[in-house]
């Protein structure tokens, strides 16, 4: 009897732990753009020394304090990509994201990588290996991913200049999918939720 109760308690905990906040995806499915959840996280490399160029806008102002927050991004459309160095699909996606940054950064679209549940050194090695030049922030846990409703990595959110989420890609994005999302972030048009390639559970 005790074992049965313990099993049920464990099962209930597992279900609750894996239940996601679907409010962003639900809103996108209705054709509306919800506000981005608030966050403020430190840069993986506070000096931003790897950045080779900056998009039109005020990137130095955003990065100058060694952190990135939604509040200071207001007025700047951005692409937010959740990743980790231990995620094999993220290795496939990394060159695509860097290519998108080089294409859309000069048009005023900021790319932000969010490294989560990772070791700092491993994340820095990943950034160096793939020559990632857009800013990367770091969340040791998964609080920000949970607030967005992300259940795995990689996942990518497209946010317009008003701070509203206009698109969500689940899994590895290809160049065409990234371009569509990037254009939606720049225009403010709601793209919705779409599925890319492979994904890894973040739990």
Per the model's pLDDT, the better-predicted residue between 80 and 17 turns out to be: 80
Instruction: Average the pLDDT over each of 57-71, 118-132, 140-154 and give the range with the smallest value.
Output: 57-71
The pLDDT of residue 176: 98
Q: Which residues pair with 40 in a beta bridge?
A: 69
Bridge partner list, 21? none
Quote the pTM value.
Answer: 0.86
CATH code that applies to domain 34-201: 3.40.30.10
pLDDT tens-place string over residues 87-119: 999 999 999 999 999 999 999 999 999 999 999
Give the model confidence (pLDDT) of 10-68 as tens digits: 333 333 345 679 999 999 999 999 999 999 999 997 544 445 455 545 566 667 778 99
Q: What is the CA radius of gyration of the chain?
A: 17
Question: What pLDDT, on a 0 to 100 scale, did the predictor assign at position 69?
Answer: 93
Domain residue ranges in the chain: 34-201
Name the pLDDT band for 9 (thresholds 50, 70, 90).
very low
Q: How far apart are CA 50 and CA 19, in angstroms?
A: 37
**Nearest partner of 113 among 64, 53, 157, judged by Cα:** 157
157-163 average pLDDT score: 97
Specify whether the CB–CB gap between 116 and 139 falls below 8 A: yes
């Amino acid at each position: 009897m005790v074992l049965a109760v313990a099993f049920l308690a464990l099962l209930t905990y597992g279900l609750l732990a894996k239940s996601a906040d679907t409010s962003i995806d639900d809103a996108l499915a209705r054709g509306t753009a919800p506000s981005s959840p608030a966050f403020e996280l430190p840069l993986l490399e506070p000096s931003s020394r790897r950045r080779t160029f900056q998009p039109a806008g005020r990137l130095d102002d955003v990065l100058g304090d060694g952190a990135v927050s939604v509040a200071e991004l207001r007025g700047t459309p951005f692409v937010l990509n959740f990743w980790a160095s231990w995620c094999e699909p993220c290795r496939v996606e990394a060159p695509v994201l860097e290519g998108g940054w080089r294409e859309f950064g000069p048009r005023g679209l900021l790319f932000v990588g969010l490294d989560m549940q990772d070791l700092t050194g491993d994340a820095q090695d990943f950034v160096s290996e793939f020559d990632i030049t857009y800013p990367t922030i770091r969340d040791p846990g998964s609080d920000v991913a949970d607030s967005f409703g992300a259940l795995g990595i990689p996942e990518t959110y497209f946010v317009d200049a008003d701070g509203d989420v206009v698109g969500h890609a689940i899994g590895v994005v290809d160049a065409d999918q990234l371009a569509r999302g990037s254009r939606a972030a720049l225009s403010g048009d709601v793209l919705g939720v779409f599925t890319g390639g492979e994904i890894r559970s973040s739990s």
